[in-house]
Amino acid sequence: MRVFIIRELKQNELAFFLTSFENEGWDNELTHIACLYESYPNDFFIAYKDEVLVGYVLAVKESEIFGTISNLLVLKEFRSQGFGKELLSFALKHLDGCQIAIDSIQGKEKIYAAFGFKPYYESSLFSFNSSITIHTNSNITVSDVSLPSFLECNKNSLKNTSYISCIFNSNSTLCKAVYKDQLISSYAILFPYKNGYKIVLASSDIDESLSLLSNLTQDLEYSRSIYMEISQIEQLNAVLVNLLNMEKISSTIKMYNKILK
C-alpha cells in the first residue's frame, strides 16, 4: 500500500522547489516565487510517495473569496498514475469556497473541466528585442515609483500588500510610472526572466505605454529578449504587439471554477 503525503513546503526547501521546475523545463520567475512564498508560506505544497518526491502545487488564497492554483508539477516518473488529480483535489479543498483561477496549456482544458473549471480567455507570452527603436511622445515624463504611491494607486485591487512590498524591495526589479495630477496614470514593472527580462504593464494610453517601455529598456544590455504576458481582452496591449513586431512564444487558457457576481 502506497503512502502518499501532501504537506506544506518548508522555507529551506524553496531552492529545491525551483530546481525541480528547472529540471522539468519550466521557467519560474524567481523574484515572483520568492515574494509569493514570503507572503503566502502556507499555500505552497509538496507531495511524497513512500518518502520519494512526487511533485508540487501552489494554492494561493489571495483573499477570502479568491484564489489561484499554479505550479502543479508531477515529476516525469510519477505521471499517469493519478497523482496530478490528487494534487489538484488537495488544492481545491485548500481553496474551498473561493473563486479559483488556473492557467491551462491549450489542448489540456478537459483535465480541469472535469473539476468544474470553464475556459474564459486566452493569454499569450510575447517577446521583442531590446534593441528595437520605440518611438515616443517627448511630452510624456516617466518617473520612478515609490511604494506608497503604488499602493495608493492599487488600493482597491491589491489583496496582499506584503507581496508588492517584497517585489519593490528586490534589487532586480524596476518600476516606472507616468503621473497625472500627482497620481499614477500608467506604470510598468521590469524583472529578470528566461534569457532576458519580463515587463508587466498597466496602462490605458498607448503613448504612455510606449514611453514606459522605452524608458525601461533603453539602458538594458543590447539585444536582450523582453517578454510580456498579454491576454486577448487587453486591447491596448494587443496594439503594442503589432507596433513592436512581437513574436508569440506560447499561449495558455485562463480558466475559472466560477464567476463571482
Q: Which CA distances in Å does 172 have to 40, 47, 59, 69, 192? A: 21, 31, 26, 26, 7
End-to-end CA, the chain: 45
Q: Give the SS3 label for residue 257.
A: coil
Q: Please report the pLDDT score of residue 221 as a whole number.
A: 77
Q: How many C-beta atoms surround the C-beta of residue 253 within 10 A?
A: 20
Q: Which domains does the chain have, with CATH numbers?
A: 4-97 (3.40.630.30), 125-252 (3.40.630.30)
Largest CA distance in the chain: 70
For 137-178, write each residue's pLDDT tens digit. 888 999 998 888 888 888 777 777 888 889 888 888 999 999
**65: DSSP letter:** S
DSSP letters for 133-166: -----TTPPPEE--HHHHHHHTTTT-S-HHHHHH
Q: Please report the pLDDT score of residue 161 as a whole number.
A: 83
Q: Please report the pLDDT score of residue 260 as a whole number.
A: 65
Low-confidence ranges of the chain (pLDDT < 50): none
Note the pTM of the prediction, 2 decimals: 0.88
Q: Please report the pLDDT score of residue 1 as a whole number.
A: 55
